[in-house]
Amino acid sequence: MKTDRCHKKGSAVSGTVVWTPLVAATLAAGLMPGIEVRGEGFRDPTSSAFELGRAGGRIAQGDDASSVAANPANLADLSAPEVEISPEAVYFRVQYQPLQGPEVTSSDPWKFLPDVYGALPIPHTPLTFGFGVTAPFGLSNEWPQNNPTTAVGFPYYASLMVINANPSLAWKINDRLKLGVGLDIFDSQLDLRITYPVGAPQYFGSGTGFGGNAGVTWEPFDGHRFAVTYRSPVGVDYSGTMSGLPPGNSPFTSAITFPTIVSTGYGVQVTKTIRLETDVEWIQFSRFGSLPLSAGSTPLQYGLPASIAENWRDTFTFGLAGDWKFAPKWVLRGGYQFYQTPVPSSTLSPAIPDANQNAITVGIGYKAKHHGLELAYAAILYNERDITTGPFAGKYQVSAHLISLSYRYSF
């Protein structure tokens, strides 16, 4: 969703004809730049060390308050109040080799995501209240401005931040059936900047959106758990300012509809110390068909479009994960998950070099009395993408690593 460089106002007609395709490609990709750390455009599908260590199997089986984000029904398994903090560090680096010109490497590869949870079983009732503050969607990608590649309308900075305040309530109907519901309150900001021969265009806006989620976990037989979750789409309308172009600042508005997500998981307690689970997810990214960019007449004078086609596709993920309690206070976790990219070749650019991915994860946890500590790591193996047409044709290679550390205190 970035704007692009055009000619000066005196050459507005020429700018429209020559630069609009480049502008469209830049803007189409710029909103969703490539720090989606596990693929899928702008989604961050795991938000705790438990979820990262078991990235392929976290829907049916849960151990802590981070179930708020994975499946609120599993909060009913908790027997005591607890709080949890789970910061995550992301290393994300992109190498872009255009068809002509030198290779360029993205800047500032380290990103940090905060996640906080709490859970409170309500005494003498079958209800458990949960609360989470997470970053379920988010992007941040930056490129050097001063090099031969970025000199031609290159989207050098794009950031999309989404913070979700997620109150939840779980109901333990009986020992085999649990239900959960929650509210998703999105607070979001976007910041988009491009190279430009006249000024330095920047789009900045913020907005709020509301949605809901629900989950059910059913244990048909001892040791077997089947779960389904649903998260509704959330629409966010952004308002702010476009700056950096003469004659001055302009009011800016845009909108994004974040996707519907349906997940299902099946878990088995293989032995007293070993669990396995497999998950499948469907993500309705086709809701992101276009990106409106409304900033008055100023950008139109330079050939910048008022709306950009995105044409994202619905996607699936699938995975397998498990854990092993190898000692009374220790657990070892591991998982695998495949993530399908929603971004077609026609809208891929250096701002969102997304691709199909294979995630391999490992984690370790320790719990003693009131304290619990988890550490997880994921290596994300991106497929290489080779784009042969368009203003940002070339080869894209991504390196990504994730580390999550969780501390929880049970009262």
Q: Specify the amino acid at residue 308.
A: I
Q: What is the DSSP letter of 347?
A: G
DSSP string for residues in 228-252: EEEE--EEEEEEEEEESSTT--EEE
Q: What is the DSSP letter of 186?
A: E
The CA distance from 378 to 88, in Å, is: 11
Model pLDDT for residues 321-358, shown as the tens digit of each residue: 999 999 999 999 999 999 999 999 988 877 778 999 99
Closest CA to 139 of 350, 287, 312: 350
- Please count the other Cβ atoms lying within 10 Å of the Cβ belonging to residue 199: 12
Domain boundaries, the chain: 9-410
Model pLDDT for residues 37-69, shown as the tens digit of each residue: 445 678 888 889 999 999 999 999 999 999 999
Q: Put residue 390 in one of left, alpha, beta given phi > 0 → left and psi -120 to 50 → alpha.
A: left
* Whether the Cβ atoms of residue 252 and residue 203 lie closer than 8 Å to each other: yes
State the average pLDDT for the chain: 87
Count how many Cα atoms sit within 13 Å of the Cα of residue 279 in the half-sphere of its side chain: 30
The CA distance from 203 to 109, in Å, is: 22
The CA distance from 385 to 391, in Å, is: 15
Per-residue model confidence (pLDDT) at position 151: 58
End-to-end CA separation in angstroms for the chain:
46
Q: Which residues, 6 or more positions from 137, have their beta carbon under 8 angstroms from its beta carbon?
A: 42, 43, 44, 160, 162, 188, 258
Closest CA to 163 of 200, 142, 145, 189: 189
Q: Is 9 helix (H, G, I), strand (E, B) or coil?
A: helix
Per-residue model confidence as pLDDT tens for the chain (411 residues): 433 333 333 333 333 333 343 444 444 444 433 334 445 678 888 889 999 999 999 999 999 999 999 999 999 999 999 999 999 999 999 999 988 888 889 988 998 888 999 999 999 999 999 999 999 998 888 888 776 666 556 778 888 999 999 999 999 999 999 999 999 999 999 988 877 777 778 889 999 999 999 999 999 999 999 999 999 999 999 999 998 888 888 999 999 999 999 999 999 999 999 999 999 999 999 999 888 888 888 777 777 777 777 889 999 999 999 999 999 999 999 999 999 999 999 888 777 789 999 999 999 999 999 999 999 999 999 999 999 888 788 999 999 999 999 999 999
Asked if the 9-410 domain carries CATH number 2.40.160.60, the reply is yes
Q: What is the DSSP letter of 39?
A: B
Q: Put residue 205 in one of left, alpha, beta given phi > 0 → left and psi -120 to 50 → alpha.
A: beta
Strands (E), 125-260: 127-134, 138-142, 157-174, 177-193, 202-221, 224-231, 234-243, 250-258
Model pLDDT for residues 55-105, shown as the tens digit of each residue: 999 999 999 999 999 999 999 999 999 999 999 999 999 999 988 888 889
Q: Where are the alpha helices (DSSP H) in 151-265?
A: none
Q: What is the DSSP letter of 11?
A: G
Q: What is the DSSP letter of 137?
A: B
Per-residue model confidence (pLDDT) at position 339: 95
Closest CA to 102 of 141, 153, 152, 147: 147
Tokens 């550390």 correspond to what residue? 405
Per-residue model confidence (pLDDT) at position 153: 63
Per-residue model confidence (pLDDT) at position 192: 84
The CA distance from 62 to 370, in Å, is: 18
CA–CA distance from 371 to each of 194, 323, 329, 409 (Å)? 47, 19, 11, 5
Tokens 């979001």 correspond to what residue? 188
* Whether the Cβ atoms of residue 171 and residue 131 lie closer than 8 Å to each other: no
Q: Which residues pair with 129 in a beta bridge?
A: 120, 169
For residue 266 the two structure tokens come to 């099946």
